[in-house]
Amino acid sequence: MSKEQRARIDALLRQPRPEGPQSVEAVRAGFEALMSRMIVPDVIRTRRTTLGDRPALRVEPDTDPRGGTILYFHGGGGVFGSPETALSLTGHLVAKTGFRSYSLDYRLAPEHPFPAAIEDALSAYRALLDGGEDPSAIAFAGDSAGGGLTVATCLAARDAGLPLPAAIVAFSPGLDATQSGETLDTKAGVDPFFTRERLEHTAAMYLAGADPRQPLLSPAVLADLTGFPPMLLQAGTNEVLLDDSTRMAARARAAGVDVILDITADVPHVFQSFAGVLDEADHALDRAALFLTQQVRTPDATAA
């Protein structure tokens, strides 16, 4: 793979930021500016819609869609981000699988702290089921905090007695609000995007005083994953949240869950966003798409 590609992305993510904690508005604007540089495939179409009680962005192939549905949760620490900032990810997944995606515009902290995002995600999943979708044709996917939301929503759905989706795909998921992973320290400085302090700043807004020692907030260390669907966890070696994925994979295996831990060397947090400019991103999304097409049962596959 290209060292030059990785070096350019590392330099982009290391661009100087203002000293000290930023306002919520500044954090949101900065993230939107960064993600607006990502490449979105031109073989998709999008439209705004609603799902459950929240707006959502429906993303579809522009030709020959298949029957599966990806319920996508964007990243941003539960504080920033939107379906638009995740469009490089949802767009490439849709283009590579032929499935449609609903990217949920869930409520954000600090205006709406935990558990608002989980409530919105569960409501969206209920809406799909109530609309007649078969859970075997639905997958949860998400990046960063949205990757954590895939697991938390699955836990909430199981607790509510709902059937679980066919699969979970999580890109660099945040799965431990206790922040006890060793890589928070061992990858400090290696990670070009996150520091412990930056994570603590956004986490405080999302938690709003809630105890992080509970399964919905720290599933990598506390959740009972019994009965979970197959999971694909993708992360890079250059990120402080790496241990969130490695510990979740170990916990899933111990619970008898099919899990693939897919670690790529020398790439940063949610490197898949750089599809089209980073070879490793394209290859990782190819693997994610293959996993989804293997796990999600489309109407055609069901009939066969």
Does position 300 have pLDDT exceeding 60, yes or no? no
State yes or no: is 112 an active-site residue.
no
Quote the CA–CA distance of 128 and 132 in Å, as a whole number: 7
Residue 36 known to be catalytic = no
Query: How many helices and strands, by DSSP H and E, does the chain display?
Result: 11, 8
pLDDT band for position 123 (cuts 50, 70, 90): very high
Instruction: Give strand pairing partners of 49.
Output: 56
State the Rg of the chain over Cα.
18
Contact by Cβ (8 Å): 299, 67: yes
Could you give the 3-state DSSP secondary structure of residue 222? Answer: helix
DSSP three-state, residue 126 = helix
Considering the entire predicted model, what is its pTM? 0.96
If one counts every other C-beta atom within 10 angstroms of the C-beta of residue 138, the result is 24
Residue 75 has pLDDT above 70, yes or no: yes
CB count within 10 Å of CB 303 equals 6
Task: Give 20-29 pLDDT, tens digit per residue.
Answer: 778 899 999 9
**Dihedral (CA of 199, 203, 206, 208) sign:** negative
- CB contact at 8 A, 104 and 83: yes
Mean of all residue pLDDT scores within the chain: 95
Query: Has 239 been annotated as catalytic?
Result: yes
Looking at 82, 218, 239, 245, which residue is catalytic?
A: 239
CA nearest to 216, candidates 109, 85, 121: 121
- pLDDT greater than 90 at residue 18: no
- pLDDT at residue 302, rounded to an integer: 40
pLDDT score of 304 more than 60: no
Beta pairing, strands 100-104 & 54-61: antiparallel
Q: Is the pLDDT at 265 greater than 90, yes or no? A: yes
303 Cβ partners below 8 Å, 6+ apart?
none
Is the confidence at residue 1, as pLDDT, over 60? no
pLDDT of residue 80: 98
Considering the candidates 144, 218, 245, 273, report the single residue annotated as catalytic: 144
Averaged pLDDT, 229-246? 98
- pLDDT tens-digit series, residues 162-212: 999 999 999 999 999 999 999 999 999 999 999 999 999 999 999 999 999
Q: What is the pLDDT of residues 274-289, one digit of tens each?
A: 999 999 999 999 999 9
Point out the catalytic residue in the list 82, 136, 172, 269: 269
Q: Which of the four pLDDT bands, split at 50, 70 and 90, describes residue 301?
A: very low
